[in-house]
């Protein structure tokens, strides 16, 4: 297809997953579904008449078909009126870039997930995938260069698109380019697992922008430390000693921190609709009268540490028989990245461990673990509302919005057991019970303490958690970044 050099969007957003996805029905027709998440709510802040364009990838067959049929823009009826361009990257290139590099390498590095000494192995297969990642990033840079008006602001999202800022700057030096990482950033000694050239290329890619932004100060500092360690870049420090910018080869890239918060208005309205009420009734019946609930809601993701969470619950039951028949662990573990064997195995392990706990402790009238694996947002909200305790124990997490959402919609206030390795701990740590996610014993003790928390104290802490969780709603999170780039 001949590139269309439209160049009229004053704001352009780029992310792997866009705000809409398509499915091919059996009769060949396409049906669309809207995506959720902070980015979608963030974009809604700028309105549909802003001329903003969102560039995303076609993820599956339905998307590819829709992208081909649409040409440059998807049907606004499917996108809530926003200009969305879906890139029809060849399926093999997409798979190698997304499953191979983004999810099996960069995700693993930033979440410290490799099981050394067996992994990682960077071989010829890796090099092929890396070439696909470069191609995929270049396709985004081409599309962004076509869409962005003179001097436009471009917001590039996440570890899928680390090379885009530098590639786009080569094509369009007039643009103001920001990159936002939704993941943690690895400390230098772990980041250096990557082959040297790749480690440098990723950093140089992000530094190609005018700003690199993160969910917490900790990840921004880690990024700066990697730049100094791997590239020999200079870290420009603010008065308080934190990293404010990175200087390399005469260019300065500013660092920013924007702690994405929960969207209280949306969540509270959504959590009181009839479908949520219905699911609450069903969950209450499943839990049984008078029983406490410990709730967790995650994608079935290795970094979410679901198996250790189950072991901690098991330990709670073993150490404190007083909770037998009196507590149910509602665990929602929704399928994720099932193209990867390691995720499929992890999903099976979660199911096995939950089943073992039920066999070991369950009675005819009490199933201690209520595990649900079918994604259902209304049911998640129902569980949020009725949670006595929320368990959020990732090994490492950019932020973790569940930790922020539960207190916001909780009916009677909930106690939060929170991993110190979640970005959210920086904002919620004061009123959560903070744990080392690897320490199953400590997590079990924290669950016990949370269950015993005095209801008045629990409600007060939950209110403070909700206030901290909504300090930066998605719309303001988005506008803060736009303003920072416009001010350059």
Residue of minimal CB distance from ligand F6P? Answer: 182
Any contact of residue 18 with ligand F6P (CB under 6 A)? Answer: no
Is residue 158 within the footprint of ligand F6P (CB under 6 A)? yes
Question: Toward ligand F6P, which CB reaches closer, 293 or 347?
Answer: 347
Per CB under 6 A, 337 contacts ligand F6P: yes
Residue placing its CB nearer to ligand F6P in the complex, 158 or 388: 158
Q: Is 193 exposed, middle or buried, given 0-12, 13-18 or 19+ CB atoms closer than 10 A? A: middle
- Greatest distance between any 2 Cα atoms in the chain: 70
Query: Residue 309 interacts with ligand F6P (CB under 6 A)?
Result: no
Q: How many CA atoms lie within 13 A of 186 on its CB side?
A: 23
Tokens encoding 1: 């297809």
Minimal distance, residue 158 CB to ligand F6P, in Å: 5
Q: How far is the CB of 291 from ligand F6P (least distance, A)?
A: 31
CB of 160 to ligand F6P, least distance (A): 8
Binding test (CB under 6 A) with ligand F6P, winner from 50, 135, 242, 336: 336
Kindly state the smallest distance separating residue 107's Cβ from ligand F6P, in Å: 8
Rank residues 322 and 338 by Cβ distance to ligand F6P and give the closer one. 338
CA 110, CA 185: separation in Å to the nearest integer? 5
Toward ligand F6P, which CB reaches closer, 231 or 340? 340
Query: Can residue 344 be called a binding residue for ligand F6P (CB under 6 A)?
Result: no
By CB under 6 A, residue 99 contacts ligand F6P: no
Report the alpha-carbon distance of residue 412 to residue 295 in Å, rounded.
Answer: 14
Q: Which is nearer to ligand F6P, 158 or 427 (CB)?
A: 158
User: Of these, 44, 183, 253, 481, which contacts ligand F6P (CB under 6 A)?
Assistant: 183
Task: Please say which residue, 165 or 368, places its beta carbon nearer to ligand F6P.
Answer: 165
C-alpha dist (Å) from residue 128 to 124, 170, 327: 6, 24, 50
What's the half-sphere exposure (Cβ side, CA atoms, 13 Å) at 430?
Answer: 10
Considering the complex, state which of residue 337 and residue 448 has its C-beta at the smaller distance from ligand F6P: 337
**Phi/psi class of residue 139: alpha, beta or left (left: φ > 0; alpha: ψ in -120 to 50)?**
alpha
259 binds ligand F6P (CB under 6 A): no
- Which run of H or of E encompasses 441? helix 440-452
Binding flags for ligand F6P, 273-302, as an x/- string (CB under 6 A): ------------------------------
β pairing state of 53-57 and 9-14: parallel
For residue 17, the minimal CB distance to ligand F6P (Å) is 4
17 binds ligand F6P, rule: CB under 6 A:
yes
Residues in binding contact with ligand F6P, number by CB under 6 A = 7
In the complex with ligand F6P, which residue's Cβ is closer, 183 or 462? 183
Structure tokens at 114: 């490799």
Question: Rounded to whole angstroms, how far apart are CA atoms 238 and 357?
Answer: 50
Nearer to ligand F6P, 183 or 216 (CB): 183
Which ranges constitute the DSSP H helices of 153-273?
A: 164-171, 188-191, 196-207, 217-226, 264-270
Taking alpha carbons only, the member of 367, 404, 365, 409 closest to residue 387 is 409
Q: How far apart are CA 435 and CA 432, in angstroms?
A: 9
Task: Please give the torsion angle defined by the CA atoms of residues 150, 151, 157 and 163, in that order, rounded to the nearest 10 degrees.
Answer: 80
| Element containing residue 417 per DSSP (H, E) | strand 415-419
- Site residues, ligand F6P (CB under 6 A): 17, 158, 182-183, 336-337, 398
């Amino acid at each position: 297809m001949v590139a269309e050099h439209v160049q009229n969007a004053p704001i352009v957003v780029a992310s792997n997953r866009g705000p809409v996805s398509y499915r091919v029905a059996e009769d060949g027709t396409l049906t669309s579904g809207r995506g959720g998440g902070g980015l979608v709510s963030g974009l809604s802040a700028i309105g549909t008449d802003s001329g903003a364009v969102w560039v995303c990838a076609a993820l599956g067959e339905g998307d590819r078909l829709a992208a081909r049929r649409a040409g440059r823009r998807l049907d606004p009826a499917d996108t809530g009126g926003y200009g969305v361009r879906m890139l029809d990257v060849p399926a093999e290139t997409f798979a190698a870039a997304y499953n191979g590099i983004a999810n099996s390498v960069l995700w693993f590095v930033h979440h410290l997930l490799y099981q050394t000494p067996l992994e990682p192995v960077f071989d010829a297969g890796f090099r092929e995938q890396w070439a696909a990642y470069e191609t995929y990033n270049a396709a985004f840079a081409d599309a962004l260069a076509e869409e962005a008006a003179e001097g436009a602001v471009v917001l590039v999202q996440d570890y899928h698109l680390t090379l885009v800022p530098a590639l786009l700057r080569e094509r369009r030096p007039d643009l103001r380019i920001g990159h936002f990482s939704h993941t943690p950033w690895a400390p230098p000694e772990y980041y250096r697992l990557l082959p040297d050239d790749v480690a440098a290329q990723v950093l140089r890619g992000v530094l190609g922008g005018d700003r690199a932004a993160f969910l917490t100060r900790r990840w921004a500092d880690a990024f700066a430390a990697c730049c100094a360690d791997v590239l020999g870049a200079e870290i420009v420090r603010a008065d308080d000693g934190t990293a404010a910018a990175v200087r390399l080869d005469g260019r300065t890239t500013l660092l920013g921190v924007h702690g994405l918060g929960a969207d209280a208005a949306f969540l509270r309205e959504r959590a009181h609709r009839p479908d949520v009420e219905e699911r609450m009734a069903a969950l209450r019946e499943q839990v049984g009268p008078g029983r406490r609930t410990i709730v967790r809601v995650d994608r079935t993701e290795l970094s979410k540490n679901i198996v250790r969470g189950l072991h901690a619950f098991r330990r709670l039951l073993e150490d404190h028989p007083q909770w037998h028949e009196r507590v149910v662990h509602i665990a929602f573990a929704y399928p994720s990245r099932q193209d990867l064997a390691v995720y499929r195995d992890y999903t099976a392990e979660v199911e096995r461990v939950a089943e073992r706990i039920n066999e070991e402790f369950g009675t005819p009238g009490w199933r201690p673990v209520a595990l649900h694996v079918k994604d259902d947002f209304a049911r998640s909200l129902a569980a949020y509302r009725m949670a006595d305790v929320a368990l959020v124990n990732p090994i490492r997490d950019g932020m973790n919005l569940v930790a922020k959402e539960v207190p916001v919609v909780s009916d009677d206030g909930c106690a939060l057991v929170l991993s110190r390795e979640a970005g959210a701990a920086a904002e919620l740590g004061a009123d959560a019970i903070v744990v080392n996610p690897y320490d199953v014993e400590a997590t079990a003790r924290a669950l016990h303490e949370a269950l015993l928390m005095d209801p008045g104290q629990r409600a007060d802490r939950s209110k403070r958690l909700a206030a901290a969780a909504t300090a930066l709603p998605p719309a303001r999170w988005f506008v803060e970044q736009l303003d920072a780039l416009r001010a350059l």
